[in-house]
Amino acid sequence: MVNASSVEDNEFIKRLQDNDINLVEYSEVKDAKLVKIRGYGIVYKGSWRESSIIMKHLPNELTNQDNNNDTLQQLIHKLSKINKINHRNVLKLLGASIGNYHILLFIQDKPQIDNL
């Protein structure tokens, strides 16, 4: 999915890289399974580089080329801020994958805690 096919995708990738957001090759994801579908996106679980991950598929309205450029700039700004958070109670943003007007956010899955 990282392989951009349009000028808009290339510009979006450049903006992500300028904000230190990792680009993830979707082909590296293993065992992706649908978790839930909600009004604000689709959530998958899988593994990437031997880590358990959550993948959040953002709705197409955010990535539609007819959409206002401000929406994508706001998204990148928010991702940049989230990417800088390093706290044990906050899941880590690992990166993003884009392609054909789709964006997948890769988020660290919460560690499994044994019942006490």
CATH number at residue 75: 3.30.200.20
Asked if residue 113 is part of any domain, the answer here is no
For residue 83, the enclosing domain spans: 7-108
Split into its structural domains, the chain has a count of: 1
Asked if residue 1 is part of any domain, the answer here is no
Which contacts (CB < 8 Å, 24+ apart) does range 5-12 have?
5/99, 5/100, 6/65, 8/65, 9/98, 9/99, 12/63, 12/72, 12/76, 12/98
d(CA 101, CA 75): 14
Asked if residue 115 is part of any domain, the answer here is no
Report residue 53 as tokens: 């991950």
Q: Where are the alpha helices (DSSP H) in the chain?
A: 7-18, 60-63, 69-83
Are 83 and 20 contacting, i.e. CB atoms less than 8 angstroms apart? yes
pLDDT at 1 over 50: no
pLDDT at 7 over 70: no
Structure confidence at residue 4 (pLDDT):
45
Residue 55 pLDDT level (bands cut at 50, 70, 90): very high
Residue 74 pLDDT level (bands cut at 50, 70, 90): confident
Asked if residue 76 is part of any domain, the answer here is yes
**Between residues 63 and 72, which one has the greater pLDDT?**
72
Mean pLDDT, residues 90-110 taken together:
83
46 φ/ψ angles, rounded to the nearest 5 degrees:
-170, -165
Asked if residue 53 is part of any domain, the answer here is yes
Asked if residue 60 is part of any domain, the answer here is yes
Asked if residue 29 is part of any domain, the answer here is yes
Asked if residue 37 is part of any domain, the answer here is yes
Return the residue matching tokens 């940049």.
Answer: 80
